[in-house]
Amino acid sequence: MPPQRTWEHFSHQADIGIRGTGATLSEAFEQAACALTAVITDPDGVRATRAVEIRCEARDPELLLVDWLNAIVYEMAVQHLLFSRFEVRTDGHRLNGCAWGEAIDIPRHQPAVEVKGATLTELKVAQDDGGRWIAQCIVDV
Amino acid sequence: MDLSRLERVANNEWRINPVGAMRVPGIIYADADLIRGMDDKVYEQITNVATLPGIIKASYAMPDAHWGYGFPIGGVAAFDAALGGVVSAGGVGFDISCGVRSLTTGLTRSDIETHKDSLADALFAAIPAGLGSTGTIRLNDRGMQAMLTGGARWAVSQGYGYQDDLQYIEEYGCMAGALAEEVSQQAKRRQRDEMGTLGSGNHYLEVQHVIEIYDRNAARAFALHKNDIVVSIHCGSRGLGHQIGTEFLKSMAIAAHQYGIELPDRELACAPINSPLGESYLGAMRAGINCALANRQILTHLARRAFERILPRAELSVLYDVSHNTCKQEEHVVEGKPMRLFVHRKGATRALGPGHADLPEAFRESGQPVLIGGSMGTASYILAGLPQSEQRCFASACHGAGRAMSRRKASKQWHGRQVIDDLSARGILIRSHSYRGVAEEAPGAYKDVDAVVDAAENAGLARKVVKLAPVICVKG
């Protein structure tokens, strides 16, 4: 059964805000990655057939989020892939992750825009009052 | 933005007096309406930039200023290295040296009318555009090194265009001081399949026609007449530039503290110009500029080939090539003293006035062409630098209209197919691989470029020369 969608976009004038939420930090990071894909194309239209391992390390969870997203951007760019499923194991400093996806098919995926990179703008990784994790930032398109 | 927070200084010039940690005032060049339409975040970013060490004169915002990363988009700030001045990756942006190149064609509107569809198709087939598109040029390590060092000059040496093209490009097509070794392997890898590609989002290749002339002398100097067909290319340094921006934004944010820089906002990541990190960034950023110049040179070559197939008598000549995301070392006179400054223009265009030594002979009298892109359904403009540009904000002007609404809202409001049909009914042909991409770029999603350009002129930044309307637009 596909994981429940708990990502969203939020408005930014020139670019786009992505936000993932989850019961755990790892889940919030996974959902943020789905939100990243959704900037480009509908994640439901991307088959999860190829896996790419991603590892990052950063001094704090916020910089880690930026690293995670930028690693995905990099893999998309150099391997010409789109991703729709993500698995993350992180303690907020080290991240072991996997992204599943397929080769970009322009007529089928109709990619709307390329993500240039994740920024430090509106960057937040924190728990809300209910203890739910939020991971968000603006991505430059 | 609340006008009562600003002090009106002159026609379309507003001042934010220094408070708190601000070392210089903020200056916004815009009319009252444009300012009211600006986000409060712009105010915050202008004032944050004003706190940075070594900043000279003021933290400037152009008429099209909007919320950016640390620096507002449409922001200009110059720094003196001798005073501990900084260089900021956010002050340049992710798309290093994104800019516009315009070419005259020798054709008129009526020449292309019966060929419009085939020309649109030929350009769409020839220009790799959109995410997932790849260029046909693959550079090995030596080629990558040569491209990053030589820019458009390298491209011409490889057979993409002519020597004559180079004099009508900023820096004569080659940015000095580029250090290819400061560009990471990842950035080079990311560029591998992207040489000669247009990119996506607000990038385009547009066939336009001149619909109005405001300054006959300058139009003559630019070889522009009413109804002339012009080709404009808007794009930047592709994956290489984006990767450089990504990497240095992070390393500067982390290192700021050890350089003793108090960042009011982490996005304002910067490093002293005179520091290993600052010098590394400058070397990499200049290589990024060369990548953008080479890219627009290759795209020019591809556009020429497409025209050759459909309208063989067309002669595409470079009018000018400007970049609006850079940090350049320039000489400026400040309070009577010549100073070498590092001028950040983030979503702002250099606008040299008449007589400037860095201008090619053809533009010494008129001033530099300043190419302002509109949206794909509205107008674009070509302006010329004014003599007083220099005293205003280091000879800078706006770069385009800026978005009026977010991509999210635009894609909810418009349907790509409908936008294409509506524009087609008005005689404008759009070619794109993505309907959603078109919806996000719908004309209504952008601010009024007329208002931005008028404000720039009224503020003495640059003057209108011609207005262009789109005929064909190839979008990423």
Instruction: Assess A16–B contact: CB distance below 8 Å, yes or no.
Output: yes
Q: Is residue B208 part of a domain?
A: yes
Task: Please name the residues in contact with B470: beta carbons below 8 A apart, sequence gap of 6 or more.
Answer: B206, B207, B208, B376, B377, B378, B379, B380, B428
CB pairs under 8 A between A and B: 122
Q: State the CATH number of the domain containing residue A102.
A: 3.55.10.10
Instruction: Assess A42–B contact: CB distance below 8 Å, yes or no.
Output: no
Tens digits of residue pLDDT in A16-30: 999 999 999 999 999
* Number of neighbours of residue B339 by Cβ within 10 angstroms: 16
Q: Is residue A51 part of a domain?
A: yes
Q: Does position A12 have pLDDT exceeding 80, yes or no?
A: no
Q: Is residue A128 part of a domain?
A: yes
pLDDT score for B187: 98
Q: Does position B128 have pLDDT exceeding 90, yes or no?
A: yes
Q: Is residue B417 part of a domain?
A: no
Q: Is residue A33 part of a domain?
A: yes
Cβ pair A106, A131 in contact under 8 A: no
Q: Over the range B311-323, which residues count as b (16 or more CB within 10 Å of their CB) and which as e?
A: beebebebbbbbb
B293/B299 Cα distance (integer angstroms): 10
Q: Is residue B430 part of a domain?
A: no
ipTM of model = 0.94
Q: Is residue B212 part of a domain?
A: yes
- In chain B, the number of structural domains is 1
What range defines the domain where residue B335 resides? Answer: 3-88+99-404+446-475
Instruction: Assess A140–B contact: CB distance below 8 Å, yes or no.
Output: yes
Q: What share of chain B is helix, strand, coil (3-state, %, to 5)?
A: 40, 25, 35
- In chain A, the number of structural domains is 1
Tens digits of residue pLDDT in B211-250: 999 999 999 999 999 999 999 999 999 999 999 999 999 9
Q: Is residue A1 part of a domain?
A: no
**Are A106 and B132 within 8 A, CB to CB?**
yes
Q: Is residue A16 part of a domain?
A: yes
What range defines the domain where residue A74 resides? Answer: 7-140
Q: Does position B4 have pLDDT exceeding 50, yes or no?
A: yes
pTM score over 0.90: yes
Query: Strands B26-29, B13-16: parallel, antiparallel or unpaired by DSSP?
Result: antiparallel
**Are A113 and B249 within 8 A, CB to CB?**
no
**Are A117 and B246 within 8 A, CB to CB?**
yes
Cβ neighbourhood burial of A77 (10 Å; 0-12, 13-18, 19+): buried
Q: Is residue B434 part of a domain?
A: no
Q: Which residues partner with B102 through β-bridges?
A: B232, B320
For residues B342-363, give the mean pLDDT.
97
Q: Is residue B438 part of a domain?
A: no
Q: Is residue B459 part of a domain?
A: yes
Query: In the annotation, is B399 catalytic?
Result: yes
> Chain A partners of B249 at a C-beta cutoff of 8 Å?
117, 119-120
Residue A1 pLDDT class (50, 70, 90 cuts): very low
Q: State the CATH number of the domain containing residue B26.
A: 3.90.1860.10
Number of helices and strands in chain B (H, E): 14, 19
B64/B399 Cα distance (integer angstroms): 8
**Are B407 and A104 within 8 A, CB to CB?**
no
Q: Is residue A135 part of a domain?
A: yes
Q: Is residue B300 part of a domain?
A: yes
B377/B311 Cα distance (integer angstroms): 24
Q: Is residue A2 part of a domain?
A: no
- Single out the residue of A57, A55, A56, A50 nearest to residue A79, CA to CA: A50
List the catalytic residue out of B234, B301, B344, B399.
B399
